[in-house]
Amino acid sequence: GNSVTQMEGPVTLSEEAFLTINCTYTATGYPSLFWYVQYPGEGLQLLLKATKADDKGSNKGFEATYRKETTSFHLEKGSVQVSDSAVYFCAQSATSGTYKYIFGTGTRLKVLA
C-alpha cells in the first residue's frame, strides 16, 4: 500500500547550518507531495507542495524536489534559524479515486543559537 517514510528525529542544528530532512514514499500512480510544519502548540501548516515529477516546491527558504526515480521529496534549507524549530511532516495525496492522504511520522527539528 501507499506509505510515507521520514528520517527519525530529533535533528539538532546550529543556527545558519544546512538542513536536510529525508522523505521517501511508496505509491501507485503519481501522488502529490507535501511538507507541513507544526510549531509548538499549533496545528499543521502547509509549507510547500509539488504535484508532479521534477516539480520543486519552495516557501520561506525551504525547498523540496519531487524525484520520481528515487521516490523522494527531501526537504532542504540553506541556513536555518532558531525560529525554524518545529516538527516537519511529509505527506502524499492520491490524484484520483477516494481519500488517500498519508502522513509520515514527523521529524522534530531543534535549532540552537
Partner 1 sequence: DADVTQTPRNRITKTGKRIMLECSQTKGHDRMYWYRQDPGLGLRLIYYSFDVKDINKGEISDGYSVSRQAQAKFSLSLESAIPNQTALYFCATSDRTGGQETQYFGPGTRLLVL
Q: Is 44 in the site for partner 1 (CB under 8 A)?
A: yes
Report the SS3 class of residue 23: strand
Could you say which of 49, 74, 77, 86 contacts partner 1 (CB under 8 A)? 49
Q: Which is nearer to partner 1, 17 or 103 (CB)?
A: 103
Burial class of residue 36 (count of CB atoms within 10 Å of its CB; 0-12, 13-18, 19+): buried
Q: Which residues 13-42 are close enough to bind partner 1 by CB under 8 A?
A: 32, 34, 36, 42
Q: How far is the CB of 63 from partner 1 (least distance, A)?
A: 18
DSSP state of 73: -
Q: Which is nearer to partner 1, 20 or 105 (CB)?
A: 105
Q: How far is the CB of 89 from partner 1 (least distance, A)?
A: 7
CA-wise closest residue to 36 among 95, 111, 109 = 109
